[in-house]
Amino acid sequence: MKSKKNEKDLMVSRQDLSLPMKTALPQALAERIELYPENKRRPVNKTVFKNNYFQLTYNTRNHSMAISSKGDLVYSAIPYDTARNYIQRAAIQYLLHPEEIRRYIELHQTTVEKYLTLSIFQVTGNRVDEQSFEVKQAYNAIMQNPLLEIQVAGRLMQHDETGPLSANLAGKFLFSENVKTGIAGYLSEYLNFVVQLANSLPLMIDGKEVQLLESAGQDQQLIEQGLTIHSDIDSALSLLPQEVKSGIENALVAADSAIVNTQPLLRSEYGEELSRLRENYIAHSVHPDEAEKYFKNVHSAENRNLINVVSDIHAKDGKLPFLNRHFNILAGDVSDSHVRDEEIAGVYVIGGHELVDILPETTDRSDEQWDKWRPFFNYEWFKELLQDPDEAWYLLPTGDHPFYEVVKTELAARFPKMNLLNNGSLIHEGIRYIGLTIPVALVKRKKVQQQFILKSLEKLLGEDTEIPTVIVSHAPLFNELSLLPETSEAYNKDYICEEPKIEKLFEKYTIIGAIHGHHHIPASSRRFKKTEFSGKRLFVVCSIYSKVNTGFELMSLLQEVK
């Protein structure tokens, strides 16, 4: 296996592999499916490849593939451990670029030492300084144990994306406690499996997504983000423990054989012990908002994307937390603190939080600042916005209400170089952007919502059927053009497109994609996908703000169209 090194920032190249598979299965996958008798009674999730502990399945409904552990294998003995996808991503990157994983941890040394200080206190009850011998010793132990190093890198990715960690820090960062969690054994078997898989089928694996290698085309940068048969993993093998290295080397020689090289944690052997551990677990949790002030952001706030998509920033200190002087697409919920920015340029659509953020800060409604809002005082939804916004979201009027025009005017004063698209359009460098005001997903009023969408699109699309068009809204238009996975608690199966005239419009015009926010989908899940709607292939983008994700570069998708 061989490939060139990707010298770009590790975190920049995390999740852009999420292109869905083509409907037609390549012969290699079809032949593998035929090998497993259980597939005859499985209409949806077909086994493609498996060993003792993991399996690759193909979903016949959405034409996607996924790696999952088989029932007996325990990922972690730590209760509420949510880092599996991050750690698997770090494992793939370690195979490809172990030196970058090391640099990523070193960049975060201050943060790691903070966690180690807390971990040592959890285990010993002793409060030690971050510069103490105990902390330095524990930090060095991470760097001397590649399987722990991978875990720590994954948890730092989680920290950067979702905020500071909490709960059972000792098991996550101290070598002496980590060996009891079973994660090292899980990782060892995971590494074996993905190498077996990449050596057996034309796939690209990034730690969460599995994609057909041919889907990446000739994009070498995209290919290098994941593990393939062409990847050079010799450098990583030289650093891994001998038993892990031997198992992976055996996988390269005999990809179809099941390999066991360390002892993973199995429910069949440790079931009662695991139950007791989790039953008696005492969380050592601190809310991320409280912990945030103790950690230093080591990532640059500057974003150089040419067409930068970001949403759900929820800025709380009166200013945008990132800098981009090119063209930005802000898909709503930008501010919770009356943010102003006179320099940021691009397009901006209205989200739910803007509806509260633009209201006067004074509670004295006799003040003249409230004059523009008086026409809405008697509406129930407006009363709820003032008293309890969480109860107001699903009472909001559809996006053609006069209220939103007042909101637009207020926002335009704060962002003078942004084009506020309240059911409006703008052409930028040959692409037409249509911005629809959809602050929330009105599932119970879906018919009314979709009539508004249809009416707005008919007006804004006009006579030009050829110009490439992207539709931007805060909440997704409907499930067919949403990045929210069906497995999410927020997913509602009823939020589908039931207006056939909308599909007809998509057929008639050159609509190439949709952008939304609202659902706070982390970048590690994916920031875009390709999907089929109205007989054509469209992209869907959702890029929420985090310290390591200050936006998604839309240019790569637009260039495919051009």
Give me 267's structure tokens: 């429910």
pLDDT at 30: 85
Angle between helices 500-508 and 446-461 (to 10 degrees): 20
Tell me the β-bridge partners of 212: 203
CA count, 13 A, side-chain hemisphere, 526: 21
Domain range annotation of the chain: 21-72+184-265, 84-181+282-294, 307-561
pLDDT at 4: 35
Give me 226's structure tokens: 């994941």
pLDDT at 549: 86
* CA dist list (Å): 376 to 11, 373, 383, 393, 448: 45, 6, 9, 15, 21
SS3 content of the chain, % helix, strand, coil (to 5): 40, 15, 45
- DSSP type of residue 272: H
Alpha carbon 80 to its chain's center:
19
Selecting from 1.10.1740, 3.30.70, 3.60.21, 3.90.220, what CATH number does the domain 307-561 have? 3.60.21
Buried b (16+ CB within 10 A) or exposed e, 359-388: bbeeeeeeeeeeeebeebeebebbebbeee
pLDDT at 347: 98
E strand map for 83-206: 203-205
pLDDT at 27: 79
Angle between helices 133-143 and 146-162 (to 10 degrees): 110
Can you tell me the distance from the alpha carbon of 470 to that of 452, in angstroms, rounded to the nearest whole number? Answer: 18
pLDDT at 261: 33
* CA dist list (Å): 201 to 95, 146, 212: 18, 27, 9
- pLDDT tens digits, the chain, 562 residues: what are they? 543 333 333 433 333 333 343 446 777 788 889 888 888 888 889 999 988 899 999 988 878 899 999 878 889 988 888 899 999 999 999 999 999 999 999 999 999 999 999 999 989 999 999 999 999 999 999 999 999 999 999 999 999 888 888 878 999 999 999 988 999 999 999 999 999 999 989 899 988 788 888 764 544 555 567 899 989 999 999 999 888 888 787 766 644 433 333 567 777 777 777 776 666 665 555 666 666 767 777 788 899 999 999 999 999 889 999 999 999 999 999 999 999 999 999 999 999 999 999 999 888 888 899 999 999 999 999 999 999 998 999 999 999 999 999 999 999 999 999 999 999 999 999 999 999 999 999 999 999 999 999 999 999 999 999 999 999 999 999 999 999 988 888 999 999 999 999 999 999 999 999 999 999 988 777 889 999 999 999 999 999 998 878 999 999 899 887 6
Residues 185, 223, 82: CA angle, nearest 5 degrees = 35
Give me 231's structure tokens: 């990847």
- Sheet hosting strand 536-541, strand order edge to edge: 424-428, 431-436, 469-473, 511-515, 536-541, 528-533
pTM of the model: 0.70
Residues 310, 313, 314: CA angle, nearest 5 degrees = 155
Give me 74's structure tokens: 């325990």
Can you tell me the distance from the alpha carbon of 346 to that of 538, in angstroms, rounded to the nearest whole number? Answer: 22
The H or E element containing residue 432 is strand 431-436
What are φ and ψ of residue 532, in 5° steps? -100, 125
Burial of 88 (0-12, 13-18, 19+ CB in 10 A): buried
Q: Please report, to the nearest 10 degrees, the dihedral formed by the alpha carbons of residues 319, 325, 330, 335 taken in order.
A: 0
- Sheet hosting strand 45-50, strand order edge to edge: 45-50, 54-59, 64-69, 210-212, 203-205
| Closest of 175, 177, 185 to residue 243, by C-alpha | 185
Can you tell me the distance from the alpha carbon of 321 to that of 455, in angstroms, rounded to the nearest whole number? Answer: 36
Whose tokens are 């144990």? That residue is 145
